[in-house]
């Protein structure tokens, strides 16, 4: 199966999500947060750096819970300044 290339908007949305997760992680280690969310540190690293711009919904919800973020906060961050794209769309 060949995956359709991501649009520039999808890549930008992934970068915004990664930046929010990194900021929310603060001084906590990547390993600590990943373990709390039940994902690998490598998965978290890829999301934070934008290398995995479209993570699975359950991965996102687990990370949000581990970081004390609401899905609404993640959605707003993913939409960016213009509000035109929704994380849940």
CATH of the domain at 26: 1.10.260.40
- For residue 57, is it within any domain? yes
- For residue 34, is it within any domain? yes
Q: Record the pTM.
A: 0.82
Count of structural domains within the chain: 1
- For residue 2, is it within any domain? no
Q: Which domain holds residue 69?
A: 8-79
Q: Using one digit for the tens of pLDDT, what is the confidence trace for 6-56? A: 899 888 988 999 999 999 999 999 999 999 999 999 999 999 998 888 899
- For residue 85, is it within any domain? no
Sign for the CA dihedral angle at 28, 34, 40, 44 comes to negative
Residues 6 or more apart whose CB falls under 8 angstroms from that of 61 comprise 71
Contact present, 67 and 25 (Cβ < 8 Å): yes
């Amino acid at each position: 199966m060949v995956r359709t290339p991501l649009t520039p908007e999808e890549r930008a949305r992934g970068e915004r999500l990664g930046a929010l997760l990194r900021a929310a992680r603060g001084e906590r280690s990547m390993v600590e947060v990943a373990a709390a969310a039940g994902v690998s540190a490598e998965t978290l690293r890829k999301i934070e750096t934008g290398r995995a711009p479209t993570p699975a919904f359950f991965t996102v919800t687990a990370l949000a819970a581990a970081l004390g973020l609401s899905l609404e906060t993640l959605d707003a961050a993913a939409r960016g300044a213009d509000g035109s794209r929704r994380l849940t769309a």
